[in-house]
Each structure stands twice: as C-alpha cells, then as structure tokens.
Structure 1
Amino acid sequence: MSTPSTPAITPPYPIGTPGMPWSAAERASWLQRQQIQRSYADEVVAPLKATLPEQAELFQYGVIDYGRLGLPSYPLYAVRSAEWSADRPTVLVTGGVHGYETSGVHGALQWVRDEFTRHAARVNLLVLPCISPWGYETINRWNPDAIDPNRQFRAGGPAAESTQALECVAANAPRVDLHVDLHETTDTDNSEFGPAKAARDGKTFDWHAIPDGFYLVADTERPVPEFQRALIEAVQRVTHIAEADEHGAIIGTPLQQFGVINYAKRELGLCGGMTGARFVTTTEVYPDSPTASPAQCNAAQMATITAGIEYLLRA
C-alpha cells in the first residue's frame, strides 16, 4: 500500500530564494550543513577486505578527492571474478550511487560475501558496492558539489563518482549482459532530498507519495517485461511489493506491470543506462516501511541479483 497521496505542507528549504537557482555561495552553505555520520572505511572497505571469497579479486579503481573543499579523499573499490572467461556472460552489480541508500551498499557487500562463490563458475562478475563514499558517510543523495551522481553517467560529466565508475566498467567489463543497480526510495526523498533539489534548481517541489514496498525501474529502451516479472516474483518471497497509487503510478510514473515502472535511463544519465546490457534493472527498496527490517532490505537486494543471474543463464 502506498503512503497517503495528499502531501503535507512543505516548508521552504532553508537555503536559497524560492524560484531562483542556487549560486556558488548557496551550494557552499549547503555543504557546510553536511556532517559525517558513519564510516566508509569501517563499514564498507574493512568488511569487504575481511570476507572476500577465494574466487574474487578486490582492486582499487580510483580515488574520490575533494581536497579542494577541505574534505578527505576516498579510495574506490570493486570486486571482480579472479578467473575471467570470454565464454561466460558478464554480470555487473552497482551499489551506493546514492550513498544514503544503505541496503544498496550492504546488500551488495552481503551478496559478495554469501553468493559470489556460488555463481563465479557460471558468469563473470564485477561488483562496485559503493560508488559514492562521501554520500555514504554523510547519508546523502548528492556529492559535495550538490550534484546527483545518478544523473551524470556520461563521459566527461561533472561527477567524479560517475565518470570513474564508467571508466572502471569500460576497462574491466567491456561487454555486460546483465546489470543490476541497487537503490532505495526513502521518506527523506520527500522531507529533504526532493525539497533540496527544487531549491537548488529554483523550481517548485514536485511531491509524490512514497510507495510502501519494493519496486523495480526498467529501462524504457529495453524493458524486457518477462525479466522484470521474474525478479519481482523472487523478491516477493522476501518482502512485499509496492502497489500503484490511485493514478496507477509509482512516484509519478505509470505502472507497467506489478511492481515495475520504466525510465529512459540513457537519456537521464542514470547508472542503469551505462552499459549495453540486454538485461538491466534498478531496485528500489523501501527501508522506512513498518513491516520491513534492514535484514529484509538487504535480502531483497540479494534476491534481485541472484534471480537476475538465473534468468540470464536461462535466456
């Protein structure tokens, strides 16, 4: 069931002048409000190194350096199959494009720990578990420049998180057959991140009810509805699936089938549009549901990856 569709009154965002896009000073003011709330090194990198399967290879593919803003630098890590075969299909898993979407990161880490070995003999695997480490630490959708990395998956874009992930995939998996991009839709999309985006761009906040439950975002150019349906059926064994609102939509986008909407991923510069994979999907877990635990959220992410691989191998 979706949350109520009548929006509460949203107060003006505390930065900027309504109707006017932010200047550099207002972006700086926004950055000053952000605080480190958890540790990328302790919660992502350390467990990744401690529980790496024998069939996996951990490597650093880049560095996010925001020293010009007085912030620390972050090494970027990926996991790939230690034995890579041109005869096997290739699977890409990305998490933490939006650092605040916790199960996207921890679901990827848990899948590497628990499921990587079982699938490594059948497919080539490349996993980027946390593309936006500063966003992870500050529980943020944006990077420090107030840019959403998940609109910048284009060569030469302004978000280093996106461009370095693109370069990593191009260098290590030039052909991708399946891409699963792990995300969440949270209550803070309405209380913080949506209003902040509207203020930054000098626009009116476009409020949509946050759906209670899991859903998928397919690619308009290659929706493959049977593939999306198989994933929904797998996740349904783990947690509940979001229903459409009274307009037949989820977050303002028309429902295509139970639990599935479509976005034009390449046109929008989304992570899910970064490859030419035959099968691509973006998960949207709802961690704020009163009936879903963090463990269920991670399990939903893991179930999607595994079901995607199983579908790929049957196709």
Structure 2
Amino acid sequence: MSTYPIGTPGTPWGETEKAQWLAQQKVVRSYQEEVLSKLTTIPAGFELKQYGALPYDESRYPLNAVVPVSFTDNVPNILVTGGVHGYETSGVQGALKFINTALAGYQQKANVVVVPCVSPWGYETINRWNPMAMDPNRSFFADSPAPESAQIMSFVQSLGITFDMHIDLHETTDTDNSEFRPALAARDGVTHDNWNIPDGFYLVADTPKPAIAFQEAIIEKVRAITHIAPPDDNGKIIGADVISEGVICYDKSSLHLCGGMTGAQYVSTTEVYPDSANATPENCNDAQVAAVTAAIDYVCQQ
C-alpha cells in the first residue's frame, strides 16, 4: 500500500487530508516573470486575449491565449495548449517559444490559437494538481469543478469554430514516480505500481483516431532535436502498447484529457523527458517547438 506521508493507506483522502497536502505546497517560481513577461510582444496578426482567471488569486493568475486578430476562412483551425500540468516546464516554455519564434510564419496558412499555460498555480508550485488536489488533465468534462479545465473549455467553445488539430504539450519526469503517482495512490486509497520512465520523447495519440501518419511526421521532425523513447522490456511505454515508434494511445475523451476537448481529427500529446542526461531545458523547449511546427505543417498539407 501507499507509504505517502498524508492519509491512511487504503482510505481515500477527505477534506482534512487535502488541506494537509495543500498546506505543504509552496510557490517556487514566478508565473509573472517566467510566463506573462514573455507575452508582452505578440507577433503581427495575432493578439493576446485574457479568457479568464483562476479563483485562487485572480490578479496573480490571469489566463491568456494568443489568437488571430481575424480568423481566415478555408484554412485549418489549430489549437496548441501547454501547462495543463503546470509542473511540466517545457510544455509552457515550449509554447511560449513557439509564439515568439514560429507563430508568425503561420498567419496566412492556419488559424492558430495558443494557450501557453492552462494551470499557472501548478506552474508556480511545480504541481500536477490544482489546490483542490484535482488533476486538470482528468477534468475535461461538462460542469468540471477544476477551474483550469472549465475556463479553457468555455473559451474554446466561445470561439465558435471547429478545430482540425489540437496538440497538447507535456513532459514525463522522474518525479512522476517519486511524487505524483504515490500522491495519486494515497489520495484515491489505492495501490499504483511505479512504471518505467521512458528515456526520450514520445507521443500519445487518441485511441479512436490515432492518425498514425500525423504522429509519424511529428516524430521524424523531433528526432533531429532529441532522442525518441524506446519501448520497455514488455514492448510498452508507461504501460501502453507502442503502435508506432515513439507513439502510444489513450482514449482522450473517456479519460477526460485536454486532448479530447475539441473533437479534432488530428490530436497528439507530446511527452518530453527533461531528466535525460542528454537533455537541457532549451533542448526540451526546442523539441516542443519542433513537434508543434511539424504537426501544423502536416495538417496544412492535407
């Protein structure tokens, strides 16, 4: 059973345990300095739109998207999201780097909407969960109690368009085994075995529509930036079957994942491995940018 320091093994957390967990969380980096300050200059043809704010501290945690000033007919509609899990740094910083280095090149080719940090409280405290011990990336459903998920879903719906592609930027880190899976097991009063942390980049496609050629196009471009994760000794990555090199599948809608919220034809979740001996923060950010540009290029060519 779980040996996590909060709660009783085998018993799900109540409000007391969740409050104990929250009391242990500390702000260790600045959303203002590391994220908002990088959104002061937006490429021509795009604008910064505040779509909400987290109720924990609305002035500290505004929620922002970069959107086209005007949407063009008859081009693909693209959604890029980062920081659904706030602790996954390159998901946020990669999205910001894409905005600042590559987004302008797609102004005439696609309607690209970028939400670089869905969970700013999680970014500041380096957390997978929000303050209520909820995982925003398991909370994309109607009337979601997670404000991170509810507010971006409302924003996406307000745009009144059908998205052709959605890429969601994530990381898999060694802390998944040392902190986050033990915390999840303790919270839910169950046992979770540790899984082998993949050494390298991989993608999570959507089980009902895996779009293998689309995933392969992303893998091929990222390969020039960082290594692709091999399967483990059981031929799996994080417990899932490998359907193509560096590609596994989750059913994004049934799991209430961010990648399932648009119903797009082309969907992928990136997973960068920042704890590799061969990785640097910049390398991880570059891998995210490569994944985004490869994905958009593929869809624009269809």
Counterparts in 2 of 1:4-153, with a 5 A limit? 12-49=3-40, 51-66=41-56, 73-153=60-140
Q: Distance in 2 between matches of 1:230 and 1:173?
A: 29
| 2:300 corresponds to 1:309 | no
Instruction: Tell me the secondary structure at the aligned position of residue 54 of structure 2.
Output: strand
Aligned to 1:270: 257
Aligned to 1:4: none
Task: Look up the equivalent residue of 2:56 and give its one-letter code.
Answer: Y
Q: Distance in 2 between matches of 1:173 and 1:226?
A: 28
Instruction: Tell me the secondary structure at the aligned position of residue 174 of structure 1.
Output: coil
Task: Count the aligned residue pairs.
Answer: 302
- Give per-residue Cα distances to partners, 1:14-67, cap 9 Å, x unaligned: 000100001100000000000000011111011111x31122110100010126
1:72 shift after superposition = 6.9
Aligned to 2:234: 247
Q: Distance in 2 between matches of 1:177 and 1:101?
A: 25
Contact 1:177/1:279 (<8 A) preserved: yes
Contact 1:248/1:255 (<8 A) preserved: yes
Q: Distance in 1 between matches of 2:62 and 2:81?
A: 16
Q: Distance in 2 between matches of 1:188 and 1:270?
A: 20
Judge which range, 139-148 or 74-83, deviates more. Answer: 74-83
- Give per-residue Cα distances to partners, 1:117-161, cap 9 Å, x unaligned: 111111001000000000000000000000000001112011000
Q: Distance in 1 between matches of 2:232 and 2:102?
A: 35
Q: Distance in 2 between matches of 1:162 and 1:112?
A: 22
Task: Look up the equivalent residue of 1:66 and give its one-letter code.
Answer: Y
Task: Look up the equivalent residue of 2:76 and give its one-letter code.
Answer: P
Task: Look up the equivalent residue of 2:93 and give its one-letter code.
Answer: H
Instruction: Tell me the secondary structure at the aligned position of residue 254 of structure 2.
Output: helix
Aligned to 1:161: 148
Contact 1:99/1:141 (<8 A) preserved: yes
Judge which range, 221-230 or 171-180, deviates more. Answer: 171-180
Structure 2 gap segments, 5+ residues each: none
Closer, same or farther in 2 for the Cα pair 1:211/1:173, shift >3 Å?
A: farther
Q: Distance in 2 between matches of 1:99 and 1:283?
A: 14
Q: Distance in 1 between matches of 2:150 and 2:280?
A: 33
Percent of aligned positions that are identical: 55
Closer, same or farther in 2 for the Cα pair 1:104/1:173, shift >3 Å?
A: farther
1:173 shift after superposition = 5.1
Contact 2:139/2:149 (<8 A) preserved: yes
Closer, same or farther in 2 for the Cα pair 1:178/1:94, shift >3 Å?
A: same
1:268 shift after superposition = 0.2
Task: Look up the equivalent residue of 2:28 and give its one-letter code.
Answer: Q
Structure 1 gap segments, 5+ residues each: 1-9
Aligned to 2:200: 213
Q: Distance in 2 between matches of 1:11 and 1:272?
A: 30
Q: Distance in 2 between matches of 1:12 and 1:159?
A: 27
- Give per-residue Cα distances to partners, 1:148-188, cap 9 Å, x unaligned: 00001112011000010101111125210110100000000
Aligned to 1:183: 170
